[in-house]
Amino acid sequence: MVKAGLEDIVAASSSICDVNGTEGRLIYCGYDISDLADNSTFEEVVYLLWYGRLPTKTELETLTKGLQANRRIPEDVVKAMKAYPKDALPMEVLRTAVSMLSMYDKEAEDKGREPNVRKAIRLTAQIPTIVAYWDLIRNGKEVVAPKEDCSLSHNFLYMLSGGKEPDAVAVRSLDIALILHADHELNASTFAARVAAATETDIYSAITAAIGTLKGPLHGGANQEVIKMLLEIGSLANVEPHLEKMFAEHKKVMGFGHRVYKTTDPRAANLRRMSEALGKQMGDTKWFDMSAKIEEIVKADKGLNANVDFYSASVYYMLGIPTDLYTPIFAISRMSGWAAHVLEQYANNRLIRPRADYTGERNLKYVAIDKR
């Protein structure tokens, strides 16, 4: 019997990330996600995922410099983006622009770990620029050159605001969110990336496939649906009636449920604390209070736990990030995990080619079109 959705099927051996769905634990290369969220930085986590261990000071400096020096995107890509329809979805733009980048990378077709790490550095550095530039372009604003003396999170917020220095709390909050979203074993987009990489196609093709897959509302697109729901609900008092209506209409509550976690998603637990802390800091806990109430009701009524997308929505909203950039921000972070998996796949590759359980007809005889 085929289990729909490859549920519980182990499709690869990997030393990058372990998701323990019964204990609600998530580990990157041996380190608990909460430990990393408390003590690490996104850049350090990128190193960890790509090299399987924490870097020395020099190693981290080298990678950070690489990520800083490669933030600019080719002028032709900026020009092309300026010609896109202004109502194009940020995820459509990201998918298309990333695909375009390969044509401007002389190493695009080069094989081997070294060139692929260099390409992964460029992609990780350039994806935030594409996302921020699209927001500026669609709003008729001038793009600003990326800063090269700061973290990826700092520079992203700087570019997104059109060149204003972000405050330290916003930078650290985004950095923690990026750490928490960086990898998640064989989630749909990472699996898509590995399937592509296993054909020995280039890393740009693999990442383009992953971005298209992340876009779906059952995957990375869920965080945008969560904020839509929060805005629709609008007030704490409206949470209960709104959810009752959703339950009566058998609608899914986005940001809840998970294929692997049957208990609290550890990423959600971290983001929940952040959402509460940010609300308190800003003197308005409305979005956190509403989220907490929704969580309580959905847990009690449906037995479902909040996933990573649920509390990231209120966090990004409080940081003032446009709501349709939530999934692209997920991509900014997950780029690191995709690259880690693509590198791992290339290093020990075999074509991924499963079978289907054929349920169609057999032995039919061709009937000429005028006889049908």
| Residues of this chain that bind ligand COA (CB under 6 A) | 5, 218, 222, 252-259, 302, 304, 307-309
Instruction: List the structure tokens of 321.
Output: 């990030």
> Counting beta carbons within 10 angstroms of the beta carbon of residue 246, is it exposed (0 to 12), middle (13 to 18) or buried (19 or more)?
middle
Task: Tell me if residue 258 is catalytic.
Answer: yes
Residue 27 φ then ψ, to 5°: -125, 130
What's the min distance (Å) between Cβ of 287 and ligand COA? 17
Q: Give the separation between CA 148 and CA 158, rounded to whole angstroms.
A: 11
Task: Tell me if residue 309 is catalytic.
Answer: yes
Instruction: List the structure tokens of 279.
Output: 């609300």
Q: Give the separation between CA 71 and CA 53, rounded to whole angstroms.
A: 25
- For residues 40 and 307, which CB has a smaller minimum distance to ligand COA in the complex? 307
- CB within 8 Å of 183: residues ≥ 6 apart: 16, 17, 28, 49, 190, 334, 336, 337, 340, 341
- For residues 219 and 273, which CB has a smaller minimum distance to ligand COA in the complex? 219
Instruction: List the structure tokens of 368.
Output: 């000429």
Distances (CA, A) of 156 to 52, 164, 194, 302, 311: 26, 11, 27, 38, 21
Say if strands 17-20 and 25-28 run parallel, antiparallel, or are unpaired.
antiparallel
Do residues 316 and 326 lie in contact, with contact meaning Cβ atoms separated by under 8 Å? Answer: yes
- For residues 101 and 188, which CB has a smaller minimum distance to ligand COA in the complex? 188
- For residues 228 and 259, which CB has a smaller minimum distance to ligand COA in the complex? 259
Residue nearest to ligand COA (CB): 257
Q: Give the separation between CA 323 and CA 289, rounded to whole angstroms.
A: 19
What's the min distance (Å) between Cβ of 90 and ligand COA? 18
What's the min distance (Å) between Cβ of 257 and ligand COA? 2
Ramachandran quadrant class, 360 (left: phi over 0; alpha: psi -120 to 50; beta: rest): beta
What's the min distance (Å) between Cβ of 217 and ligand COA? 6
Q: Which of 309, 324, 357, 370 is catalytic?
A: 309
What's the min distance (Å) between Cβ of 255 and ligand COA? 5
Q: Give the separation between CA 26 and CA 16, rounded to whole angstroms.
A: 11
What's the min distance (Å) between Cβ of 329 and ligand COA? 14
Q: Which of 181, 242, 258, 341 is catalytic?
A: 258
Beta bridge partners, 208, equal none
Residues with a known catalytic role: 258, 309
